[in-house]
């Protein structure tokens, strides 16, 4: 079937799309917490183990992305393996995670700009959970939304070019930090190598899967990549490995740039480490600008991925057909892009506390998506052994079982009684509302998909057309 999309993405575009999605803003704001919570070596071990976990899940995506290079990614894989209802849950779950990141980045942007260009905000609107929301603060995030939405509206190539430029800038700033650590860093600061032993390392390990959300954007745009499908699988795994390596280097740079005492008092450890290593406040600002670039690259990547999920679900009759519209000139799912842009535009009005609830709750959607893809991977290995798999991984059954176990472990992290469990009632209420909307949508679309054929009414589930 002829694709409605242009094959305008090169392999390098795809690589930077995924890396930019995974690096985001976390490496700037969380690095101090990693080192002070687990120690230098404890943090390194956590990233090595966590990175390996994510690679196992990534391998299932890589094989399926090469076998089914279609817009929609995990949603398509689950639909090929199971009934449409499970595919709907898969697509809707991953969309939950993407929407949470998109809305959060619209709040992160004005927060970071305040660090670079601090000024007194005006136009007080209201207070949410002790947080004062000002008009000027809201406008920074909303204007950012308009710019990124417009960029994606006019074709994926402009968005890809911007993604590449900003990702290269992030990597360059990170390497500058590491270079400063190698020349001016105090290696005595690396001690203690461990803090709180196994417990400290576990505290960092549970963060890892969510830092690497973004590699799964690659299968979403598989139809738009001008390269053999085998390379799509390879580049997905390379993007995860490159991101793990980047995070390891950042841990080293921060650990050598700040003393344990400075780590505990720093509000933005990565920037403060940069200042210490180079002896100038300007380098701290430069690093924060790298963080701003990270906000934009992850935001941009999830607009691209989220709009393609909406398109694929609409094309299969699971959500309103309005989302399946492809612009005749720009070849982008513009209705999905506009929808996500509107969500990001209004998000800053909720202030920072509400958005933290949303991003925490949305994380469970992504890991549910991982679980269903891992299940689909194993199912298709059994039911479709002759399926052409240009990027076929070795020991598939073992890899699939490990990916399923890891996915279930990640889901368990959110459950009551766990250290990172979702807050009751705020975050669980968001989860229930999101999946409540899914149930209503599925029911309504199922009713709409009753068609008259040969004078008889034929009823079928969404996705069977």
- For the chain, which residues make up each domain, given as ranges? 11-459
Spatial distance between the Cα atoms of 421 and 373, rounded to a whole number of angstroms: 23
Give the residue with greater pLDDT, 112 vs 77: 77
Torsion of CA 33, 34, 40, 44, to 10 degrees: -170
Q: Which value, in Å, is the radius of gyration of the alpha carbons in the chain?
A: 22
DSSP 223: G
Burial 48-60 (b: 16+ CB within 10 A, else e): eebbebbbbbbbb
Going 405 to 318 to 433 to 302, the CA torsion angle's sign is positive
Residue showing tokens 């000002």:
134
Q: What is the pLDDT of residue 3?
A: 62
Most confident of the ranges 96-105, 195-204, 208-217: 96-105
Q: What is the pLDDT of residue 302?
A: 92
Q: What is the CATH number of domain 11-459?
A: 1.20.1740.10
Spatial distance between the Cα atoms of 177 and 30, rounded to a whole number of angstroms: 15
**Residues, the chain, total?**
465
Helices (runs of H) and strands (runs of E) counted in the chain: 19, 4
Q: How far is CA 76 from the centre of its chain?
A: 18
Confidence of residue 171 (pLDDT cuts 50, 70, 90): very high
Spatial distance between the Cα atoms of 101 and 344, rounded to a whole number of angstroms: 9
The set of residues, in sequence order, having a beta carbon less than 8 Å from that of 110 and lying 6+ positions away, is: 137, 138, 140, 141, 348
The set of residues, in sequence order, having a beta carbon less than 8 Å from that of 365 and lying 6+ positions away, is: 92, 93, 94, 95, 96, 97, 100, 434
Range with the lowest mean pLDDT among 9-13, 149-153, 179-183, 356-360? Answer: 356-360
Q: What is the pLDDT of residue 463?
A: 47
Average pLDDT across the chain, whole number: 86
Q: What is the pLDDT of residue 189?
A: 84
The HSE-up count of residue 412 (CA atoms within 13 Å, CB side) is 6
Tell me phi and psi for residue 259, to 5 degrees. Answer: -75, 160
Q: Checking DSSP bridges between strand 451-453 and strand 456-458, what pairing results, if any?
A: antiparallel
The mean pLDDT value for 158-164 works out to 91
pLDDT in tens, 397-427: 999 999 999 889 888 878 887 766 777 888 8
Burial class (CB in 10 A: 0-12, 13-18, 19+), 168: middle
The HSE-up count of residue 192 (CA atoms within 13 Å, CB side) is 11
pTM of this structure: 0.87
Q: How far is CA 379 from the centre of its chain?
A: 26
């Amino acid at each position: 079937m002829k694709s409605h999309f242009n094959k305008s993405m090169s392999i390098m575009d795809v690589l930077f799309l995924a890396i930019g999605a995974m690096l985001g803003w976390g490496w700037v704001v969380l690095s101090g917490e990693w080192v002070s919570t687990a120690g230098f070596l404890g943090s390194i071990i956590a990233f090595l183990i966590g990175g390996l976990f994510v690679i196992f899940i990534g391998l299932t995506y890589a094989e399926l992305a090469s076998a089914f290079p279609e817009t929609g990614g995990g949603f398509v894989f689950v639909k090929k393996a199971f009934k449409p209802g499970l595919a709907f849950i898969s697509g809707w779950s991953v969309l939950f995670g993407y929407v949470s990141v998109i809305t959060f980045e619209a709040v992160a942007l004005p927060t970071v700009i305040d660090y670079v260009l601090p000024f007194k905000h005006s136009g007080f609107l209201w207070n949410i959970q002790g947080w004062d929301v000002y008009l000027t603060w809201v406008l920074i995030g909303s204007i950012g939304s308009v710019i990124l939405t417009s960029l994606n509206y006019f074709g994926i190539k402009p968005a890809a070019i911007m993604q590449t430029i900003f990702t290269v800038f992030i990597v360059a700033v990170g390497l500058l930090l590491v270079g400063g650590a190698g020349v001016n860093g105090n290696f005595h600061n690396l001690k203690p190598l461990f803090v709180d032993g196994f417990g400290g390392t576990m505290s960092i390990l549970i963060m890892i899967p969510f830092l690497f959300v973004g590699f799964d954007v690659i299968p979403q745009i598989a139809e738009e990549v001008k390269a053999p499908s085998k390379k799509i699988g390879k580049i997905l795994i390379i993007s995860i490995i490159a991101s793990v390596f980047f995070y390891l280097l950042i841990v080293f740079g921060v650990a050598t740039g700040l003393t344990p005492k400075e780590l505990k008092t720093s509000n933005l450890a990565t920037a403060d480490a940069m200042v210490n290593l180079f002896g100038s406040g300007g380098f701290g600002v430069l690093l924060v600008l790298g963080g701003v670039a990270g906000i934009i690259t992850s935001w941009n990547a999830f607009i691209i991925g989220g709009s393609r999920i909406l398109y694929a679900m609409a094309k299969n009759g699971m959500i309103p057909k309005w989302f399946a519209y492809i612009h005749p000139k720009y070849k982008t799912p513009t209705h999905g892009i506009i929808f996500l842009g509107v969500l990001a535009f209004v998000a800053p009005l909720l202030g920072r506390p509400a958005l933290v609830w949303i991003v925490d709750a949305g994380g469970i959607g992504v890991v549910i998506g991982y679980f269903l893809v891992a299940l689909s991977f194993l199912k298709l290995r059994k039911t479709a052994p002759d399926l052409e798999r240009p990027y076929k991984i070795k020991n598939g059954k073992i890899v699939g079982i490990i990916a399923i176990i890891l996915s279930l472990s990640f889901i368990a992290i959110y459950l009551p009684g766990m250290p990172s469990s979702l807050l009751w009632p705020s975050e669980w209420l968001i989860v229930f509302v999101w999946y409540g909307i899914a149930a209503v949508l599925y029911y309504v679309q199922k009713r709409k998909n009753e068609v008259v054929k040969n004078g008889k009414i034929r009823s079928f589930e969404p996705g069977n057309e």
